[in-house]
């Protein structure tokens, strides 16, 4: 790590340090003056307002600034004794490791020299113009309770020290430690007033970098221009350290945030077939990820080598300090232990073998898969008791029956459910209004064949039984389409060269009935020209003859595989995980820890980089779970790059703009939320708009409080640098769709969009995965065989006609693919007991600001109201897309949840 000497021009302070994140909090630093215990004086302190009393001048300290000593004009100078208690968590990477240094550290504990604390004044000395000397004190070990260790100390604070602005920490141990918080007390002899500084941060040993201490600011937020004079240098140096210098390989203990391309998904040095193209840049546009600085591979200088773990800035790593059941630990165990164990069992037969009959699928829920009886498997039962069961000393992978199956096991078979899930399923953000006829491709017909769809007016008017005409239905906004034609067709021929998978371009047309439900009318599957053969396309539709019924079911299986792939790669990974990472990096690089917008965004950006690093390590990488289980295979993430290039724009990520863009709503000032929905019973949209409005109101209140003058937005150099870096670096491949940042309203729109994507949008596409996808015939992730009408071989045609059920099962995922995906979506859909839900708990640095606290409480109250509205909607049987016999209620945007797989609950951030 690059070392910084902060004292070149400030001789009064020694070894001043960088600033971490997360930041301070202060549960008792109220917006009123704290009375201070004083020595050598009997003066009574007035805590109500500024005035002189007995020769002592008390200055009101607003917000969360705490004045340690009173200023006096006539009395003798005096001191106050402040006490500090530091809480350090016992962690796998801290107190339980580095056993070789334990003896030395235990001696340091006995000597009382474990943690050095220094109080930093907010303002410069008014006479010298220099920073005041910090007040230092060593904390000594005072005991422990469960996994918490306590260190205590006290400070003698002189009255002219002024307001405390920050605290510096130096770790004298020879191993890193995780500091939870520091509680200061002694501000009053008559009350229990105390100030809690929440750290939640790793502190490196002094021996690793003696020139860099850690600084944690007090709770009051400041725009750059409002920063107290003595804290300005600290604020700038903090950001310089977090940005790094862009050189070298990052070490585990580093806290550096920087950008890089997605050039680490392949592994060409292991196998040339594991090479993957670099994503990011003009040829394959993509968001940037966090730079790790690992060396390049030998066989491909453009690719970064892989390692057993992926660097994230130290305070982004969280698995060791969360509870044992935190989901990422389960994800890691699934990817690195459970799937290999399961594969070794299935490989005794054939990893490509499918399910022989539909009832065999049920064994995954009532019998399970026996796992190898070894120490690794045995430990999984304690980590994932939902998945791994121990019976008679044997371990089984056994899945809980999803709610979807419990309600109606055969719902997946019905066209009505197939259509309903486009509005209220796990991928409800792709359906769009048809505005032109005929349906046409935008791809080059010289390469991909005729652009016009084979879905004709005659066929559709036959399907709607003369009820209306196509032209009239278009005018009445009755046609909707799930269109994966153009995004998939360029990959079809490449994917078909892979073993065990196939692909088509697809369009699925729906008709809106008077009951506000969708009815599927037709599915078109297309293969582009190949090997001298012309484009092949065929339209399938509901019918009454046996052969047509089975062809329709097969066509639906292909469309569902397309929808599952697009959901996982675009709606989920790209739009939430991948596109959020540049926001995380820019926020830490450009917004100081004391910036109010940093503090607003921080809860919504936590943990995202850690889960993304895990995904790059074992989920979206070459030969990872996604490539092995989804139709696009090795082209999966490359496909998401195409979607990013063609479909993603920041301004369309706002829910109202997204709905309007897809034709699912129009602006209407007289309607709720200012929008009139094209389909009124559209659960994702109607519930989502409730949440969107609540987030926007909270953001509006917050921004108005800190930017009371509109000009402050443009003059905020940190904020402007943040937005510029997101647009030009983090998402530098996208040149359009970026709003300006000149006014508070601009800022409100940008922040609301970021928070919505990280919370509401992610919850809507993530936490229903197990309920809708665990019974995989409802959402197969891959289609392994071609339609029997596309150049069928005699043997295939015979099998389809004689045993169509068996033909469909062969098209579905193999046993290994199904079990792999089911295990992954089980942990992805799981809420941990310590989940941090949106609007549930106020951040400590807001708790004592009356204005912000009141706004947050309104936000929290509105979220509870939303939960009640959603319950009422789910009980209304007139809303047929979310209520009825055997119908899954739509709860994915219900704000709060109990732990487990519940199909509801909105965490603050993309944390799983």
Show which residues are catalytic. 572, 577, 762, 766, 912
Whose CA is closest to 740, among 757, 756, 720, 725? 720
Q: Which tokens in the block code for residue 876?
A: 């209304």
Return the residue matching tokens 């299986």.
Answer: 557
Report yes or no: 82 and 182 within 8 Å, Cβ to Cβ. Answer: no
Q: Which tokens in the block code for residue 14?
A: 């020694």
Q: Which tokens in the block code for residue 96?
A: 């339980």
Dump the DSSP string for 237-262.
HHHHHHH--S-SPPPTT-----EE-B
* CA atoms within 13 Å, Cβ hemisphere of 426: 26
Strand stretches in 237-363, DSSP E:
259-260, 289-290
DSSP state of 268: T
* Max Cα distance, the chain (Å): 106
Residues paired with residue 138 on neighbouring β-strands, in sequence order? 116
DSSP state of 261: -
Cα–Cα dist 796/809, whole Å: 13
Strand stretches in 534-655, DSSP E:
536-540
The region, left, alpha or beta by phi > 0 then psi within -120 to 50, assigned to residue 160 is alpha
CA distances from 191 to 185, 556, 719 (A): 10, 69, 39
Torsion of CA 803, 809, 815, 821, to 10 degrees: 180
Whose CA is closest to 819, among 677, 553, 537, 628? 628
Q: Which tokens in the block code for residue 284?
A: 């394959």
Whose CA is closest to 491, among 344, 615, 640? 640
DSSP state of 808: H
Strand stretches in 836-886, DSSP E:
none
Report yes or no: 748 and 699 within 8 Å, Cβ to Cβ. Answer: yes
Phi, psi of 868 (to 5 degrees): -70, -40
Cα–Cα dist 766/824, whole Å: 12
Q: Which tokens in the block code for residue 906?
A: 């909105």
């Amino acid at each position: 790590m690059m070392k910084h000497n902060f004292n070149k021009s400030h001789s009064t302070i020694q070894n001043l340090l960088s600033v971490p994140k997360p930041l301070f909090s202060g549960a008792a630093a109220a917006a009123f003056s704290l009375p201070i215990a004083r020595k050598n004086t009997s003066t009574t302190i007035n805590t109500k307002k500024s005035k002189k009393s007995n020769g002592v001048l008390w200055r009101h300290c607003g917000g969360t600034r705490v004045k340690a000593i009173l200023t006096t004009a006539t009395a003798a100078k005096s001191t106050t004794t402040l006490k500090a208690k530091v809480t350090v968590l016992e962690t796998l990477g801290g107190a339980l490791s580095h056993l070789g240094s334990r003896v030395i550290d235990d001696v340091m504990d006995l000597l009382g020299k474990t943690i050095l604390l220094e109080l930093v004044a907010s303002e410069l000395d008014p006479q010298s113009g220099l920073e005041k000397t910090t007040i230092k004190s060593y904390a000594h070990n005072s005991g422990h309770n469960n996994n918490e260790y306590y260190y205590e100390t006290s400070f003698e604070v002189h009255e002219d020290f002024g307001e405390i602005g920050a605290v510096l920490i130096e770790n004298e141990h020879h191993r890193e430690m995780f500091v939870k918080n520091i509680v200061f007390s002694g501000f009053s002899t008559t009350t229990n007033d105390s100030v809690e500084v929440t750290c939640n941060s790793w502190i490196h040993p002094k021996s690793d970098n003696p020139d860099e201490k850690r600084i944690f600011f007090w709770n009051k937020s400041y725009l750059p221009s409002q920063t107290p004079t003595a804290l300005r240098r600290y604020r700038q140096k903090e950001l310089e350290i977090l940005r790094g210098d862009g050189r070298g390989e990052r070490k585990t203990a580093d806290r550096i945030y920087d950008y890089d391309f997605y050039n680490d998904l392949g592994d060409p040095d292991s196998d040339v077939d594991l090479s993957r193209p670099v994503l990011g840049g003009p040829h394959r546009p993509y968001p940037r990820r966090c730079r790790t600085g690992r060396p390049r591979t030998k066989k491909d200088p453009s690719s970064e080598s892989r390692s057993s773990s992926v660097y994230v800035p130290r305070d982004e790593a969280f698995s060791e300090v969360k509870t044992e059941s935190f989901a990422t630990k389960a994800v890691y165990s699934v990817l690195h232990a459970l799937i290999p164990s399961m594969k070794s069992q299935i490989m005794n037969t054939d990893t490509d073998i499918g399910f022989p009959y539909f009832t065999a699928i049920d064994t995954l829920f009532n019998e399970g898969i026996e796992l190898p009886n070894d120490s690794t498997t045995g430990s999984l039962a304690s980590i994932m008791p939902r998945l791994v069961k121990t019976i008679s000393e044997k371990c089984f992978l056994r899945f809980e029956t999803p709610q979807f199956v419990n309600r109606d096991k055969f719902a997946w078979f019905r066209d009505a459910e197939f259509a309903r899930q486009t509005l209220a399923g796990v991928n409800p953000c792709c359906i769009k209004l048809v505005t032109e006829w005929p349906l046409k491709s935008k791809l080059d017909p010289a390469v991909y064949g005729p652009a016009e769809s084979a879905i004709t007016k005659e066929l559709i008017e036959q399907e709607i039984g003369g009820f209306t005409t196509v032209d009239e239905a278009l005018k009445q906004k009755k046609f909707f389409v799930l269109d994966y034609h153009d995004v998939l067709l360029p990959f079809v021929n490449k994917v078909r060269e892979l073993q065990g998978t196939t692909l088509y371009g697809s369009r699925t047309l729906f008709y809106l009935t008077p009951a506000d439900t969708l009815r599927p009318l037709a599915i078109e599957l297309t293969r582009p020209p190949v090997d001298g053969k012309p484009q092949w396309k065929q339209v399938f539709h509901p019918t009454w003859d046996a052969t047509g019924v089975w062809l329709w079911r097969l066509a639906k299986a292909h469309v569902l595989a397309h929808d599952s792939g697009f959901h996982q790669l675009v709606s989920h990974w790209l739009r939430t995980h991948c596109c959020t990472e540049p926001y995380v990096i820019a926020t830490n690089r450009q917004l100081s820890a004391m910036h109010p917008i940093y503090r607003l965004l921080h809860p919504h950006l936590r943990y995202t980089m850690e889960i993304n690093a895990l995904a790059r390590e074992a989920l979206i990488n070459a030969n990872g779970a996604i490539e092995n289980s989804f139709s696009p295979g090795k082209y999966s993430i490359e496909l998401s790059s195409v979607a990013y290039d063609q479909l993603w724009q920041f301004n369309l990520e706002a829910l109202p703009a997204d709905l309007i863009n897809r034709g699912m709503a129009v602006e209407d000032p007289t309607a709720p939320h200012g929008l009139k929905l094209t389909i009124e019973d559209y659960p994702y949209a109607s519930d989502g708009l409730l949440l969107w409005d609540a987030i926007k109101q909270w953001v509006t209140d917050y921004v108005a409080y800190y930017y009371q003058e509109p000009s402050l937005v443009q003059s905020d150099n940190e904020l402007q640098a943040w937005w510029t870096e997101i647009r030009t670096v983090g998402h530098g491949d996208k040149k359009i769709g970026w709003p300006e940042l000149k006014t508070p309203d601009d800022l409100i729109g940008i922040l609301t969009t970021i928070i919505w994507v990280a919370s509401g949008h992610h919850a809507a596409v993530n936490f229903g995965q197990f309920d809708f996808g665990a019974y995989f015939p409802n959402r197969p992730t891959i289609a392994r065989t071609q339609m029997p009408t596309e150049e069928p071989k005699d043997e295939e045609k015979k099998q389809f006609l004689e045993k169509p059920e068996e033909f469909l099962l062969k098209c579905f995922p193999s046993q290994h693919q199904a079990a792999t995906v089911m295990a992954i979506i089980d942990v992805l859909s799981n809420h941990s007991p310590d989940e941090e839900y949106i609007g549930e708990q106020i951040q400590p640095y807001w708790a004592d600001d009356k204005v912000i606290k009141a706004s947050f409480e309104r936000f929290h109250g509105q979220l509870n109201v939303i939960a009640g509205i959603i319950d009422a909607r789910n009980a209304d049987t007139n809303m047929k897309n979310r209520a009825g016999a055997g119908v899954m209620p739509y709860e994915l945007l219900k704000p709060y949840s109990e732990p487990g797989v519940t199909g509801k609950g909105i965490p603050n951030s993309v944390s799983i």
